[in-house]
């Protein structure tokens, strides 16, 4: 019989084991957000027993759970007490400007779809989170839209506003504007600008209170309906299409660019903001590669993470000129074009 103890153990096997266990990390993050552990531990140190009472949970499970949060650097621990790590304190405490917890819930709402990835790849189909029974449609829409808003308020909106010169623009159409996040930021940054946000019923229900909170109700109009089927008005000198190209088939994006062109005044500016391959560094390539599969899994079988140059070429084919690719320090890039004057 072969002596197993003398064979060399290949420690690379741990890389496979680690990949297999990776979803535990997402589960721990998701649960901590849903249990609202991070609000409880902001600025204070508590024992696991105190946390268990605070979140009305099993003491034994809570202790084990908190120790895992420490291992994942979501919490720090000292003398049997736990508190938020600096990362958590910046990004996972509700009501702080950097909060991205809803975005994490949105990502993890696709859990059951990813769990059936073999079937999805074989059949070339999308499996929407509320069709798997993992979340209901209302939860899906609210986490999705508030999650997109988290992304905007945690930095993306700041960089979009900085990257565009809209000083001579008066009327913005935000196609698929979702929670109105970028219309809010662009109007706040450009006092002469008014905006129309066109989207479906569910996103606009999330947008309404956010527009009110930002005191921009007199400058931002919400227009409900399918953007291909609704009268969207006229007189626009800037059109924003953010987060839509990624989740749509090429034909839809090009149809949307044509629509924008027709609705726009001569000399108008089109702005596409999305996951797009603009800067080809390895970290971005890794995420763009994963995003490409994510949108096929959870949005549309025709969706895809595009090359910025390809999107610029689609704009040019619809008549836009002077297209520019603008890489931002965040994950989303920008492509702009102008309708001839
Ligand atoms: C990823 S979200 C982006 C939301 C927002 N623009 C942002 O960047 O945060 C895509 C949005 O496009 C909207 N959308 C997709 N197809 C649409 C259609 N046919 N008519 C109107 N809105 C649509 C969705 O409802 C959703 O709010």
Same domain? For 79 and 200 the reply is no
SS (H, E, C) 249-263: CHHHHHHHHHHHHHH
pLDDT of residue 284: 85
Mean pLDDT for the stretch of residues 255-275: 97
Task: Give domain status of residue 65, yes or no.
Answer: yes
Question: What's the CA-to-centroid distance between 199 and ligand 1, angstroms?
Answer: 6
Question: What's the CA-to-centroid distance between 61 and ligand 1, angstroms?
Answer: 40
Same domain? For 82 and 187 the reply is no
pLDDT of residue 3: 55
CATH number at residue 269: 3.40.50.150
Structural tokens at position 96? 């702080």
Task: Give domain status of residue 286, yes or no.
Answer: no
Same domain? For 184 and 272 the reply is yes
pLDDT tens for each residue of 272-284: 999 999 987 888 8
Same domain? For 77 and 173 the reply is no
Task: Give domain status of residue 113, yes or no.
Answer: no
Tell me the best of 243, 252, 303 to mutate to test the pocket of ligand 1, counting ligand atoms within 8 Å of each CB and taking the most: 243
Question: Which are the contacts of 341, defined by CB distance < 8 A and separation ≥ 6?
Answer: 266, 267
Instruction: Please report, for residues 48, 144, 232, 270, 323, the alpha-carbon distance to residue 311 in angstroms, rounded to integers and kept in the order given.
Output: 51, 24, 23, 12, 10
Range of the domain at 233: 165-277+300-338
Question: What's the CA-to-centroid distance between 176 and ligand 1, angstroms?
Answer: 3
Q: Which residues of 171-188 are buried (b: 16+ CB within 10 A; e: fewer)?
A: bbbbbbbbbbbbbbbbbe
Same domain? For 53 and 170 the reply is no
pLDDT at residue 7 tops 80: no
Bridge-based pairing state of the strands 46-47 and 321-326: unpaired
Return d(Cα 132, Cα 116) in angstroms, integer.
10
* Closest-lying ligand 1 atom to the alpha carbon of residue 152: 9
Q: Are 288 and 228 in contact (CB under 8 A)?
A: no
From the list 90, 138, 104, the residue with the least C-alpha distance to 27 is 104
Same domain? For 194 and 47 the reply is no
- Strands (DSSP E) contained in the chain are 46-47, 75-78, 81-84, 171-175, 194-199, 220-224, 236-242, 264-274, 276-277, 306-307, 321-326, 333-338
Same domain? For 171 and 270 the reply is yes
Task: Give domain status of residue 233, yes or no.
Answer: yes
pLDDT at residue 4 tops 80: no
* Closest-lying ligand 1 atom to the alpha carbon of residue 203: 27
Return d(Cα 23, Cα 43) in angstroms, integer.
29
Return d(Cα 335, Cα 302) in angstroms, integer.
21
pLDDT tens for each residue of 196-232: 999 999 999 999 999 999 999 999 999 999 999 999 9
Same domain? For 262 and 178 the reply is yes
Same domain? For 214 and 74 the reply is no
Task: Give domain status of residue 226, yes or no.
Answer: yes
Instruction: Report whether residue 291 contacts ligand 1, using a CB cutoff of 6 Å.
Output: no
Task: Give domain status of residue 123, yes or no.
Answer: no
**What pTM did the predictor assign?**
0.92
Task: Give domain status of residue 138, yes or no.
Answer: no
SS3 117: helix
Return d(Cα 251, Cα 145) in angstroms, integer.
24
> In a 10 Å sphere around its CB, with 0-12 CB exposed, 13-18 middle and 19+ buried, how is residue 135 labelled?
buried
Tell me the best of 140, 178, 248 to mutate to test the pocket of ligand 1, counting ligand atoms within 8 Å of each CB and taking the most: 178
Task: Answer with the one of 55, 77, 96 that is the final residue of a domain.
Answer: 96
pLDDT of residue 5: 59
Same domain? For 199 and 329 the reply is yes
pLDDT of residue 2: 54
| Number of folded domains that form the chain | 2
- By alpha-carbon position, which residue is closest to atom 16 of ligand 1? 176
Task: Answer with the one of 96, 114, 139 that is the final residue of a domain.
Answer: 96
Task: Answer with the one of 54, 77, 96 that is the final residue of a domain.
Answer: 96
CATH number at residue 20: 1.10.10.10
Task: Give domain status of residue 106, yes or no.
Answer: no
Same domain? For 211 and 66 the reply is no
């Amino acid at each position: 019989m072969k002596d197993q103890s003398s064979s060399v153990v290949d420690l690379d096997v741990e890389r496979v084991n680690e990949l297999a266990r990776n979803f535990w990390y997402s589960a721990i993050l998701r649960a901590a957000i849903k249990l609202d552990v991070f609000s409880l531990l902001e600025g204070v140190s508590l024992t696991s027993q105190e946390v268990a009472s605070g979140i009305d949970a099993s003491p034994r499970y809570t202790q084990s759970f908190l120790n895992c949060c420490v291992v994942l650097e979501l919490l720090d621990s000292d003398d049997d007490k736990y508190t938020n790590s600096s990362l958590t304190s910046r990004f996972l405490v509700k009501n702080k400007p950097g909060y991205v917890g809803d975005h994490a819930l949105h990502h993890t709402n696709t859990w059951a779809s990813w769990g059936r990835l073999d079937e999805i790849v074989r059949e070339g189909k999308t499996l929407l989170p509320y069709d798997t029974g993992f979340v209901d449609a209302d939860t899906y829409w609210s986490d999705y839209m508030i999650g997109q808003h988290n992304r905007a308020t945690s930095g993306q909106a700041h960089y979009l506003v900085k990257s565009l010169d809209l000083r001579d623009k008066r009327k913005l159409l935000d196609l698929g504007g979702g929670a109105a996040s970028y219309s809010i930021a662009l109007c706040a940054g450009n006092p002469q600008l008014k905006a129309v946000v066109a989207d479906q019923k569910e996103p606009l229900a999330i947008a309404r209170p956010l527009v009110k909170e930002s005191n921009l109700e007199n400058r931002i109009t919400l227009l409900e309906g399918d953007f291909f089927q609704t009268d969207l008005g006229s007189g626009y000198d800037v059109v924003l299409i953010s987060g839509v190209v990624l989740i749509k088939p090429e034909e839809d994006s090009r149809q949307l660019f044509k629509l924008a062109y027709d609705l726009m005044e001569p000399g108008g500016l089109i702005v596409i903001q999305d996951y797009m391959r603009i800067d080809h560094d390895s970290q971005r390539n890794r995420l763009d590669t994963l995003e490409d599969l994510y949108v096929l899994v959870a949005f549309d079988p025709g969706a895809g993470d595009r090359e910025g140059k390809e999107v610029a070429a689609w704009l040019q084919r619809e008549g836009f000129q002077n297209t520019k690719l603008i890489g931002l320090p965040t994950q989303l890039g920008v492509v702009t074009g102008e309708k001839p004057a």
